[in-house]
Amino acid sequence: MKLGMRLAVESAGTAWLVFAGCASAALSASAPAQGWSVFEMAAAFGLALACASFAAGRAASAHFNPAVTIGYAVARRFPVRDMAPYIAAQTVGAIAGAGILAWMASGRPGFALSLSDFGSNGYDEHSPCDYAFATVFALECALSFVFVSMHLLTSASSERRRSAPATLGACLTVVYLISIPVSNGGVNPARSTGPALFVGGWALDQLWIFWAAPIAGAIGAGLCHRFASMRRTAARLHGGADA
């Protein structure tokens, strides 16, 4: 499929992911019970990813996340020349999704972006549980490593690709159940950028960590996957030579 169509799918899928995930917090007018809001937001992101991945099918790589795209490129399973267009499309989609959500949320009396976290990611006093910078960075990096590794593994064969939407949706749900109390759930630079642009101020000041940490984790996942693939290839060649 042509690059333009693949970029459109990536942009639309990322817009849906950001809209659905952040809407679970931004559109709620009541104060939810402690713990339920974490599960609600994590489930919204996970189910949204599962739906988008299933709908995309083979029309695109169904990354919907710059960290995933970078991880695939590092693993040499995605062309480097397409990396920048994919990341741009994902970021534009995330901004569009956040923009639609901001417009809808503004229809509730008393709603103000300055008074709502709007799903924005943060650390220190802007962390849901006041986690410090170092903790947020380490967790975002580690969970991005896990998620990108899972993405690479689920696309390694046709059998695994059939169950990829459900597997990745479940994985993202677990990742967000862990990270929402710490950073409000990042692991996706585009997802972090969309809400931050509308909240502004502190959200933009802290946005860089939610690009740096997921990218670092993605690079690690891509390198590990490439090394493991090289080892498997060498083992097969060595086995064939012995035979």
Question: Where are the chain's structural domains?
Answer: 3-107+117-238
Q: How many CB atoms lie within 10 A of CB 55?
A: 14
Would the pLDDT of 206 be above 70?
yes
Contact 10, 90 (CB under 8 A): yes
The pair phi, psi for residue 186, each rounded to 5°, is -110, -105
The CATH label, of 2.30.30.140, 3.20.20.70, 3.30.360.10, 1.20.1080.10, for the domain at 3-107+117-238 is 1.20.1080.10
Closest CA to 210 of 20, 38, 65: 65
CA distance linking residue 235 with residue 240, whole number of Å:
8
Spell out a b/e string for 224-238, using b for 16 or more CB atoms within 10 Å of the CB, else e: bbeeeeeeeeeeeee
- Predicted TM-score (pTM) of this structure: 0.91
Question: What does pLDDT average to over the chain?
Answer: 89
Residues 8-67 have pLDDT tens digits of: 999 999 999 999 999 988 887 555 444 558 899 999 999 999 999 999 876 557 899 999
Predicted confidence at residue 33, as pLDDT, reads 44
Q: Give the tens place of pLDDT for each residue, 106-157.
A: 887 777 777 666 889 999 999 999 999 999 999 999 999 999 999 999 988 7
| Identity at 213, one-letter amino acid code | A
Q: What is the dihedral of CA 171, 172, 174, 176, to 10 degrees?
A: 170
